[in-house]
């Protein structure tokens, strides 16, 4: 495709800071998004597995995984918006064309996602004590929720994939010279690529389980927690199995993806990024195997952050593939986007992200961490309360400056 046609689709206003900032933030936030998606899918599957069984341990695990799946669903959606913003800023010619070509699905995405989330909540509200009863109410809601979430993920996959094939856009827009403006067709997809990212749910949720079984050890003997050492040992062993077999499955799907790359993407198979991705996956599984003999120590917590590093590496590799196609094959260079520098919004973004976000998340994580390990009622320490107070003040200050700058610009 003529690269000038692609450049002509760019926003004439330019971008408000250097494109490399958007590129890095896009990769990092997508890694967070997909990690949340993977925990959500893994926790939903484990919930269903337990809810459909009569086994006490599986049901107890389902009771724990159900709120994880609900929470991770909101987090996945929340964290999906960030890469959406970055991808549409620097890749707008590709992203919007891909969206318009399948517009019906882009709008449908919101409806399908809303129904999926509602179904998850219906199941959650009707099954709060799966671990203490043998009755499961309305399991169909959870089944349908998982299916619809997969449809939502598939739509995202198609939009991301179609943007990599600009040479085919015209044939999709006007097949045999006849315009198709319906937006009803999903034109291109790669099943192995989609399944590869989804299959990582198994090792990622496995890493969560390894941390879970360590985290709840201090609650042993606490009747409200309803956990035994045998249950936690079983959860740890299950987590290890998911990491090992899920890891092998993901590697196999990755190989299938590499073997079926279309012509414009074959450079990626055998490239340095493919090898880095593969070696990182194997190292992650190997590290988890080593932790197997340290399950009752703090090392059990390390599996999840090591998994997070793996997801970031895979996100970089995925970006390298996009870069190789758009720049290497089509000559489109993200880095020469016109910059219309806006220091205020750039500084505001980082201050909000690091200070307001940092303080607030630190407070919530500290409180949740300690509350979960406390027998009886938990009261935060003075130091933690102080962090909460700083977090609140940072939010108030943010709102004040938000309206102040708004009024200033409006009055000028
Ligand atoms: C409001 C909800 C969501 C938003 C805004 C969102 C946003 C995004 C964006 C922007 C990308 C592409 C990132 C890029 O190209 O750099 C993406 C990729 C992806 N998302 Fe989401 N997402 C959402 C929900 C979900 C859900 C529920 C799933 C569940 C399965 C999911 C699974 C995926 C997958 C598998 C990819 C990778 C596609 C590929 O590269 O082939 N997303 N998402």
Q: pLDDT for 335-356, tens place per residue?
A: 999 999 999 999 999 999 999 9
- Counting from 1 in the atom list of ligand 1, the atom nearest the Cα of 194 is 41
How far apart are the CA of 34 and the centre of ligand 1, in A?
7
Question: 295 Cβ partners below 8 Å, 6+ apart?
Answer: 210, 213, 214, 233, 236
- Counting from 1 in the atom list of ligand 1, the atom nearest the Cα of 150 is 30
Ligand 1 binding pocket includes 235 (Cβ within 6 Å): no
Give the angle subtended at the CA of 316 by the CAs of 362 and 16, to the nearest 5°.
70
How far apart are the CA of 138 and the centre of ligand 1, in A?
28
- Counting from 1 in the atom list of ligand 1, the atom nearest the Cα of 322 is 15
Q: Is 178 left (phi over 0), alpha (psi -120 to 50) or beta?
A: beta
How far apart are the CA of 157 and the centre of ligand 1, in A?
7
How many angstroms from the chain centroid is the CA of residue 221? 35
Ligand 1 binding pocket includes 76 (Cβ within 6 Å): yes
What is the average pLDDT score of the chain?
A: 96
CA distance 240 to 234: 10
CA distance 407 to 401: 10
Phi and psi at 227, nearest 5°, equal -135, 145
Identify the bridge partners of residue 339 per DSSP, sorted by sequence position: 15
Q: At residue 319, does pLDDT exceed 90?
A: yes
How high is the pLDDT of residue 221? 82
Q: At residue 198, does pLDDT exceed 90?
A: yes
**Three-class DSSP category at 392:** helix
How high is the pLDDT of residue 388? 97
How far apart are the CA of 370 and the centre of ligand 1, in A?
32
How far apart are the CA of 156 and the centre of ligand 1, in A?
5
Q: Whose CA is nearest to atom 12 of ligand 1?
A: 160
Cβ-contact 124, 74 below 8 angstroms:
no
Ligand 1 binding pocket includes 150 (Cβ within 6 Å): yes
Mutating to test ligand 1, I would choose from 78, 80, 96, 200 the residue with most ligand atoms within 8 A of its C-beta, which is 80
How far apart are the CA of 88 and the centre of ligand 1, in A?
13
Phi and psi at 127, nearest 5°, equal -140, 55
CA distance 412 to 409: 5
Name the band, by pLDDT with cuts 50, 70 and 90, for residue 147: very high
Name the band, by pLDDT with cuts 50, 70 and 90, for residue 114: very high
Residue 196 in tokens: 């590869």
Say what percent of the chain tops pLDDT 70.
100
Identify the bridge partners of residue 15 per DSSP, sorted by sequence position: 339
Q: At residue 52, does pLDDT exceed 80?
A: yes
Cβ-contact 249, 202 below 8 angstroms:
yes
As a whole number, mean pLDDT of residues 81-97 equals: 97
How far apart are the CA of 80 and the centre of ligand 1, in A?
6
Ligand 1 binding pocket includes 37 (Cβ within 6 Å): yes
**Three-class DSSP category at 15:** strand
Ligand 1 binding pocket includes 193 (Cβ within 6 Å): yes
How far apart are the CA of 153 and the centre of ligand 1, in A?
6
Ligand 1 binding pocket includes 113 (Cβ within 6 Å): yes
- Counting from 1 in the atom list of ligand 1, the atom nearest the Cα of 319 is 16
Residue 285's nearest CA partner among 196, 215, 193, 200 is: 200
Q: At residue 183, does pLDDT exceed 80?
A: yes
Residue 135 in tokens: 């009755």
Mutating to test ligand 1, I would choose from 90, 94, 153, 257 the residue with most ligand atoms within 8 A of its C-beta, which is 153
Q: At residue 1, does pLDDT exceed 80?
A: no
Phi and psi at 339, nearest 5°, equal -105, 125
Question: 178 Cβ partners below 8 Å, 6+ apart?
Answer: none
In the chain, how long is the greatest CA-to-CA distance? 72
Helix (H) or strand (E) holding 388: helix 382-411
Residue 139 in tokens: 């399991």
Range 188-195, long-range pairs (CB < 8 A, 24+ positions): 188/158, 188/161, 188/162, 189/154, 189/157, 189/158, 189/161, 190/157, 190/161, 190/257, 190/260, 192/253, 192/254, 192/256, 192/257, 192/260, 193/157, 193/161, 193/257, 194/153, 194/154, 194/157, 195/253
As a whole number, mean pLDDT of residues 295-317 equals: 97
Give the number of other CB atoms < 10 A from CB of residue 263.
8
- Counting from 1 in the atom list of ligand 1, the atom nearest the Cα of 197 is 35
How high is the pLDDT of residue 224? 80
How far apart are the CA of 29 and the centre of ligand 1, in A?
11
Query: What is the model's pTM?
Result: 0.95
Name the band, by pLDDT with cuts 50, 70 and 90, for residue 223: confident
How far apart are the CA of 375 and the centre of ligand 1, in A?
38
Q: At residue 236, does pLDDT exceed 80?
A: yes
Ligand 1 binding pocket includes 165 (Cβ within 6 Å): no
């Amino acid at each position: 495709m003529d690269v000038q046609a692609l450049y002509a689709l760019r926003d004439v206003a330019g971008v408000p800071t250097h494109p490399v900032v958007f590129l890095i933030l896009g990769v990092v936030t997508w890694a967070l998004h997909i990690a949340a998606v993977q925990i959500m899918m893994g926790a939903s599957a484990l919930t269903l597995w337990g809810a459909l069984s009569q086994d006490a341990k599986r049901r107890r695990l389902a009771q724990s995984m159900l709120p994880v799946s609900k929470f991770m669903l909101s987090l996945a959606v929340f964290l999906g918006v960030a890469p959406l913003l970055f991808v549409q800023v620097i890749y707008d010619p590709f992203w919007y064309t891909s969206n318009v070509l399948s517009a019906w699905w882009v709008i449908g995405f919101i409806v399908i996602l809303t129904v999926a989330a509602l179904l998850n909540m219906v199941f959650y509200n009707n099954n709060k004590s799966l671990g203490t009863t043998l009755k499961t109410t309305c399991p169909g809601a959870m089944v349908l929720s998982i299916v619809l979430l997969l449809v939502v993920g598939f739509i995202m996959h198609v939009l991301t994939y179609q943007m990599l094939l600009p040479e085919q856009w015209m044939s999709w827009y006007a097949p045999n010279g006849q315009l198709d403006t319906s937006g009803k067709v999903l034109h291109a997809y790669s099943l192995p690529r989609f399944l590869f990212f989804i299959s990582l749910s198994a090792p990622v949720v496995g890493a969560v389980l390894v941390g879970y079984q360590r985290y709840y050890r201090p609650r042993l003997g606490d009747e409200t927690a309803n956990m035994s050492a045998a249950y936690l040992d079983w959860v740890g062993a299950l987590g290890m199995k998911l990491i090992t077999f899920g890891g092998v499955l993901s590697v196999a799907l990755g190989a299938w993806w590499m073997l079926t790359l279309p012509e414009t993407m074959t450079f990626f198979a055998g490239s340095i990024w493919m090898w880095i991705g593969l070696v990182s996956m194997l190292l992650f599984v190997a590290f988890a195997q080593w932790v197997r003999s340290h399950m009752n120590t703090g090392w059990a917590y390390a599996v999840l952050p090591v998994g997070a590093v793996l997801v970031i590496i895979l996100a970089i590799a995925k970006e390298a593939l996009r870069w190789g196609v758009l720049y290497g094959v089509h000559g489109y260079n993200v880095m020469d986007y016109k910059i219309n520098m806006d220091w205020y919004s750039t500084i505001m973004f980082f201050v909000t992200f690091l200070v307001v976000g940092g303080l607030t998340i630190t407070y919530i994580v500290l409180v949740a961490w300690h509350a979960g390990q406390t027998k009886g009622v938990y009261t935060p320490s003075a130091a933690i309360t102080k962090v909460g107070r700083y977090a609140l003040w940072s939010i108030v200050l943010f709102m004040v400056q938000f309206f102040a700058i708004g009024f200033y610009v409006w009055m000028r």
